[in-house]
Amino acid sequence: MPPQNLPSRPRRLRRTEAVRRLVRETSLTPRQLVLPLFLIEGEDRAEPIDAMPGCSRFSIDRAIGTAEQAMTLGVRAFALFPAVSSEKKSPAGDEGLREDNLLCRAVIAMRQALPDACLITDIALDPYSNFGHDGIVSADGRVLNDETVDVLTRMTQLHAQVGADFVAPSDMMDGRVGAIRRALDGAGYTETGIISYAAKYASAFYGPFREALDSAPIDAPNVPRHKKTYQMDPANTREALREAALDEAEGADILLVKPGLPYLDIITRLRERTTLPIAAYQVSGEYAMIKSAAELGRLDETAAMVESLTALARAGADVIFTYFALEYAVWYRANPG
């Protein structure tokens, strides 16, 4: 059959791997990734997390070792999440304000061992609350906004004091970014950055993370069974734009969307609206789905990992929080560009 008279043949740009690489529109390197690390007390401990195959809770020394490995592969940023024992939890999350708590000791140790690492700390009460909420719960079952923000600002100053590069308020309380910025600046921590969870949705994809930290809302009288009064409705787009605009005006340095893949449209809309860096969090449920499907032989884990992370970057994410950071960095070393 003679060739058709087609002036444009897009397949010419897909003909070989060299050509495909030449015209590739989206590039994702390990330097853009953030590796979340779960912390536990003790020494030389690594507890596998059943709901997140390949992930563990680490004692501080083991967390440092994992971070060192990541840095040799080009991943230089780490988000720290403490798994706090139940006896240290309280309604007001008092452990979060203790100067020698697990997270503070981890930041100090990692800053000393890895001075070139970028350390990001979570700002919320759920790791420290015996109710499993990101804020203080009133006697009549409401999550209190302003009272929670007051605690978060003090927590933020503590994290800045021990050496965090960024604090990341994940609570979704109103006005917390502005309050945190004022508190940091007032205490002299003008160089400590804020990564705001600007659009954090009330998602079903957080389950494995809550198991890892034992931070799900408890089943008790006058304790909300969900986080829908402060995390966002998955049906909403304009609300995300409003939240992000407020956080930017209040002093956020980076805006984060969580979860990632179900909200690619939100990432793109924010990328079109702001000049700030956009971060995306590929959450525990997204990670676990790929792992579980791969274990069942339903898909190629490496290919799915690369495709899903590339999709987040293609949508407009400059920074990606992912539990695949180490695996992607290993893959990228063999497949650069």
pLDDT value of residue 224: 86
Residue 3 has pLDDT above 90, yes or no: no
Whether 21 is in a domain gets the answer no
55, 212 in Cβ contact below 8 A? yes
Angle in degrees, CA 24, 27, 29, rounded to 5: 150
Domain count, the chain: 1
pLDDT value of residue 178: 98
Whether 209 is in a domain gets the answer yes
Residues composing the chain: 337
What's the rounded mean pLDDT across residues 80-97?
Answer: 94
pLDDT value of residue 336: 87
Q: Is 200 a catalytic residue?
A: yes
pLDDT value of residue 41: 97
pLDDT value of residue 303: 98
pLDDT value of residue 229: 94
**For residue 250, what pLDDT band results from cuts at 50, 70 and 90?**
very high
Whether 22 is in a domain gets the answer no
By residue range, what is the domain housing residue 157? 28-334
pLDDT value of residue 213: 74
Question: Beta-strand (E) ranges in the chain?
Answer: 33-39, 46-48, 56-58, 77-82, 118-123, 136-137, 143-144, 166-169, 193-200, 254-258, 278-282, 319-322
What is the helix (H) or strand (E) element at residue 304, kind and residue range?
helix 301-315
**Residue of 88, 89, 227, 258 marked active site:** 258
For residue 317, which of 257, 274, 259 has the smallest C-alpha distance?
A: 257
Q: Is 258 a catalytic residue?
A: yes
pLDDT value of residue 242: 98
124, 169 in Cβ contact below 8 A? yes
> Alpha-carbon distance 111 to 334, whole Å?
30
Residue 212 has pLDDT above 80, yes or no: no
pLDDT tens digits, 102-122: 999 999 999 999 999 999 999
Exposed e or buried b per residue across 192-216, where buried means at least 16 C-beta atoms within 10 angstroms of its C-beta: bbbbbbbbbbebebbebbebbbebb
pLDDT value of residue 214: 77
The CATH number for 71's domain is 3.20.20.70
How much of the chain, in percent, has pLDDT values that exceed 70? 100
**What DSSP string describes 218-273?**
P--TTS-SS-TTTSBPTT-SHHHHHHHHHHHHHT-SEEEEESSGGGHHHHHHHHHH
**Residue of 88, 89, 200, 291 marked active site:** 200
Residue 6 has pLDDT above 80, yes or no: yes
Whether 80 is in a domain gets the answer yes
Whether 87 is in a domain gets the answer yes
Whether 7 is in a domain gets the answer no
pLDDT value of residue 155: 97
pLDDT value of residue 216: 79
285, 211 in Cβ contact below 8 A? no
pLDDT value of residue 117: 98
Q: Are strands 56-58 and 46-48 parallel, antiparallel or unpaired?
A: antiparallel
What's the rounded mean pLDDT across residues 14-30?
Answer: 94
Whether 17 is in a domain gets the answer no
pLDDT tens digits, 159-198: 999 999 999 999 999 999 999 999 999 999 999 999 999 9
**For residue 210, what pLDDT band results from cuts at 50, 70 and 90?**
confident
pLDDT value of residue 220: 81
Whether 176 is in a domain gets the answer yes
